[in-house]
């Protein structure tokens, strides 16, 4: 969620109780980066229908051939008509599906209908800052508390892992009831600790995040013909040596009339399909929330006018909300009065489009450039692979088959990949560790593909808070079957069909990457607990994660390993000598070439990596999962080609120790991603303050890098294994 916006003003000017103008300031704005710009007002959208022609259905719809003349012929025309009618049914069903998706917004839920005067519940989320990356609870600052007490909203495991803590707020709205000069509360006199904490949060540029009907509060500023957008609002601002707090909020709620299109359900099988139309009661007029805007102000209220005013009472003097000046200074031993006003505005934004202002991302040309760059790399590597297969290997095979046994014995100077035929399938060092790492890599790669695929379809939109993390966790647990299968199958291949010890291998797969993740998360969580941050995973959530690990992931991994014991393995086409062949010395260490090979896969994703890092650490929105899915496919292709080429090059110099080198030839991309993460920390997150924030950043980066290394390494190893098996299967052995 885009929660990192910052107030775009900060100036060192005068002090005192009078309002301080803050025009023309040029220090940090937005979320540590340029805000999103709109050429026109983004709050005015009315997209057209998905289907170009309205689709109409009857209560009963049958597919049949009406002309018996063509059916009696039994010719091709009858089959053609049947195909046309089936195509019509498919087209109508697809168009109906698109209309349903358009009308009900696939990623989110159904719209909430509010009548005039209905209560609207504003919720608060954690305070966030890109300066520290450590979230804190909303009520850790001296804000007004709800009269009914603080209550947590229902949270999924994804929200808890993201550090979101959604709670109720004291703000009371009623649909289509404009209110102004509402006194929310008057805080008690600020203690020394509260005063110190408030100043620290202002210095660290913390943002207040509010939600209404699952929409985050958003701010707009019109500058130089552009609409600048941020989400949330800052706690306060420092001007000179004086701290000011934003204690008056001007809310604008954008609403639209409630529209509930008919939902068509398709039931029945066979040639006929019955369509039943369901419609809800739409006689009573209602409204939907399609926008939630906030404008913070710093107002110094008259203490004499606040006497005998209860919470939610009306301030007797008009409050002028001027965002260009600040007046409410934070002083130890003095209280702060919080007020607000709310107005409802009819908008032409429809329900499916209400998230467009949040999900709008610029830089589509940059994404296309990244994809075209990746395609160029893939084309080059594909050409190299084609040359290897069509020219080099065929030529080598022809030369070797022309040599008889006497010529082979006489030509001791002969070199090439066929000379390692008796050693190429010799078991590698630490074979079980290799099986475990490849299996975990396949699991992570499968999780990435399924998560990004469903996210590209819209099922994991930011509108569904925490859905992306929850989906990743669910897919990782379920794909334990794949991890156990690959590990045991690969072990059988390395040991020529011996499946003994499959249970131990399955257990090690189930504990390898989850164990590394658990260790890193425990260390980072300890730091967050010590900082009293809401980003710390609650103890109960830790217990839930452990139960998911041992009760779901581990049994599924063992089941996958057991299935692999019943499956055929890859049989080696050649025998292995007992005495290993000596590898000729090379001018340069072979590992230099292996580590350098990671630059090509890194070149296919570094542009997309910048957007992902900005989304995670700078609070920007990332929603171009379609681009990301294409980049992932290109990354798999590049990793496979790089590993194949490097493996063939090693065999040509009679280096038969290809197992681990093929893994790290593509897996070395993780090294460059980690170096890029450090570069991002130094140059893009230079405002990151405190050693705790840096450790948290490096810890999560390390976890991401390990996952990428396992996934890309598995791609390279399996590609090289299949390539070598196919290559030596075509060799004529005397």
What's the confidence (pLDDT) of residue 212? Answer: 94
Q: Which of 353, 375, 394 is the last residue of a domain?
A: 353
Total domains in the fold of the chain: 2
First to last CA, the chain: 65
Q: Is residue 704 part of a domain?
A: yes
What's the confidence (pLDDT) of residue 480? Answer: 95
CA 713 to chain centre: 22
Task: Please state, in angstroms and rounded to a whole number, the distance separating the CA atoms of residues 592 and 327.
Answer: 62
Q: What angle do CA 230, 232, 233 make, to 5 degrees?
A: 95
Q: Is residue 69 part of a domain?
A: no
Looking at the DSSP bridge assignments, the partners of residue 136 are 127
CA distances to 148, 212, 350, 675 from 120, rounded to whole Å, are 15, 7, 19, 48
627 with 565, same domain: the answer is yes
Q: Which of 353, 374, 389 is the last residue of a domain?
A: 353
394 with 437, same domain: the answer is yes
325 with 403, same domain: the answer is no
Q: How is residue 592 written in tokens?
A: 């230099």
Q: Which of 326, 353, 380 is the last residue of a domain?
A: 353
298 with 403, same domain: the answer is no
456 with 326, same domain: the answer is no
Q: Is residue 102 part of a domain?
A: no
What's the confidence (pLDDT) of residue 284? Answer: 54
Element (H, E) at 69: helix 68-73
* Alpha helical stretches, state H, 570-598: 590-596
378 with 336, same domain: the answer is no
Q: How is residue 706 written in tokens?
A: 């390990």
671 with 533, same domain: the answer is yes
What's the confidence (pLDDT) of residue 504? Answer: 94
3-state secondary structure of 371: helix
Q: Is residue 634 part of a domain?
A: yes
HEC-encoded secondary structure of 646-661: HHHHHHHCCCCCCHHH
Q: Is residue 39 part of a domain?
A: no
Task: Please state, in angstroms and rounded to a whole number, the distance separating the CA atoms of residues 554 and 561.
Answer: 11
Q: Is residue 324 part of a domain?
A: yes
Q: How is residue 343 written in tokens?
A: 């107005």
Q: How is residue 141 written in tokens?
A: 């600052």
Q: What are the E-state strand segments in 307-444?
A: 313-314, 325-326, 337-346
For 653, the domain range is: 364-574+598-730
3-state secondary structure of 265: strand
399 with 465, same domain: the answer is yes
What's the confidence (pLDDT) of residue 388? Answer: 66
Residues 6+ apart with CB under 8 A from 407: none
337 with 315, same domain: the answer is yes
The stretches in the chain having pLDDT less than 50 are 1-18, 23-108, 262-283, 404-406, 408-414, 734
Q: Is residue 341 part of a domain?
A: yes
CA distances to 31, 149, 383, 406, 612 from 298, rounded to whole Å, are 21, 26, 64, 95, 35
209 with 327, same domain: the answer is yes
458 with 546, same domain: the answer is yes
311 with 178, same domain: the answer is yes
CA distances to 131, 538, 630 from 5, rounded to whole Å, are 12, 26, 29
Q: Is residue 480 part of a domain?
A: yes
């Amino acid at each position: 969620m885009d929660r990192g916006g910052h107030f775009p003003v900060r100036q060192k000017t005068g002090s005192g109780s009078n309002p301080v103008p803050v025009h023309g300031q040029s220090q940090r704005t937005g979320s540590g980066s340029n805000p999103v710009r709109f050429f026109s007002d983004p709050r005015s959208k009315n997209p057209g229908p998905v289907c170009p022609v309205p689709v109409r259905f009857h209560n009963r719809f049958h597919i049949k051939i009406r002309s018996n003349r063509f059916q009696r012929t039994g010719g091709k025309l009858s089959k053609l008509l049947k195909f046309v009618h089936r195509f019509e049914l498919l087209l109508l069903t697809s168009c109906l599906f698109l209309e349903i998706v358009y009308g009900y917004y696939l990623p989110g839920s159904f719209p909430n209908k509010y009548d005039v005067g209905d209560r609207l519940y504003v919720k608060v989320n954690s305070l966030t800052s890109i300066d520290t990356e450590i979230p804190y609870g909303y009520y850790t600052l001296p804000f007004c508390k709800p009269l009914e007490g603080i209550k947590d909203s229902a949270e999924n495991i994804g929200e808890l892992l993201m550090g979101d803590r959604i709670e109720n707020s004291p703000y009371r709205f009623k649909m289509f009831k404009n209110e102004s000069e509402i006194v929310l509360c008057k805080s008690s006199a600020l203690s020394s600790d509260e005063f110190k904490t408030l100043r620290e949060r202002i210095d660290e540029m913390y943002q207040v995040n509010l939600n209404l009907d699952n929409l985050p509060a958003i701010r707009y500023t019109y500058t130089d013909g552009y609409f600048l957008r941020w989400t949330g609002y800052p706690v306060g601002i420092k001007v000179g040596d004086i701290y000011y707090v934003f204690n008056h909020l001007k809310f604008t709620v954008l609403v639209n009339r409630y529209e509930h299109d008919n939902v068509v359900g398709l039931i029945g099988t066979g040639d006929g399909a019955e369509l039943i139309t369901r419609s809800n009661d739409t006689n009573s007029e209602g409204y939907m929330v399609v926008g939630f805007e906030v404008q913070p102000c710093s107002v110094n209220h008259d203490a004499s006018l606040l006497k005998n005013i209860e919470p939610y009472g009306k301030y007797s003097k008009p409050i002028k909300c001027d965002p260009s000046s600040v007046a409410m200074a934070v002083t130890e031993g003095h209280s702060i009065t919080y007020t607000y006003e709310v107005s409802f505005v009819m908008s032409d934004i429809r329900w499916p489009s209400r998230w467009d202002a949040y999900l709008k991302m610029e830089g589509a040309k940059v994404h296309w450039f990244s994809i075209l760059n990746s395609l160029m790399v893939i084309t080059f590597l594909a050409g190299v692979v084609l040359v290897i297969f069509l020219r080099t290997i065929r030529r080598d095979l022809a030369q070797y088959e022309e040599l008889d046994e006497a010529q082979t014995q006489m030509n001791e100077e002969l070199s090439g990949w066929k000379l390692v035929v008796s050693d190429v399938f010799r078991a590698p060092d630490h074979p079980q560790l290799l099986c475990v790492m490849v299996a975990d890599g396949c699991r992570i790669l499968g999780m990435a593909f399924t998560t990004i695929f469903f996210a590209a379809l819209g099922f994991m939109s930011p509108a569904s808070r925490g859905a992306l993390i929850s989906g990743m966790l669910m897919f990782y647990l379920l794909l334990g079957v794949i991890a156990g299968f690959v590990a045991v199958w690969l072990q059988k291949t390395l040991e020529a069909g011996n499946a003994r010890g499959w249970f131990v291998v399955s257990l090690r797969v189930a504990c390898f990457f989850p164990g590394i993740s658990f260790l890193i998360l425990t260390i980072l969580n300890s730091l967050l607990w010590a900082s009293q941050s809401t980003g710390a995973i609650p103890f109960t959530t830790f217990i839930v994660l452990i139960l998911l690990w041992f009760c779901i992931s581990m049994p599924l991994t063992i089941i996958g390993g057991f299935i692999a014991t019943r499956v055929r393995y890859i049989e080696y086409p050649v025998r292995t000598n007992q005495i290993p062949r000596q590898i000729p010395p090379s001018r340069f260490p072979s590992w230099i070439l292996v580590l350098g090979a990671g630059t090509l896969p890194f070149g296919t994703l570094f542009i997309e990596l910048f957007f992902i890092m900005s989304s995670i650490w700078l609070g920007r929105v990332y929603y171009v999962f379609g681009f990301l899915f294409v980049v992932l496919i290109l990354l798999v292709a590049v990793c496979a080609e790089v590993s194949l080429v490097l493996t063939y090059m090693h065999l040509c110099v009679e280096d038969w120790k290809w197992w681990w080198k093929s893994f790290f030839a593509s897996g070395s991309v993780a090294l460059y991603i980690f170096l890029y993460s450090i570069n991002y920390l130094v140059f893009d997150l230079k405002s990151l303050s405190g050693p705790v924030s840096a450790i948290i950043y490096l810890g999560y980066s390390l976890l991401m890098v390990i996952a990428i290394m396992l996934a890309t390494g598995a791609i390279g190893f399996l590609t090289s294994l299949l390539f070598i098996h196919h290559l030596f299967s075509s060799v004529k052995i005397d």
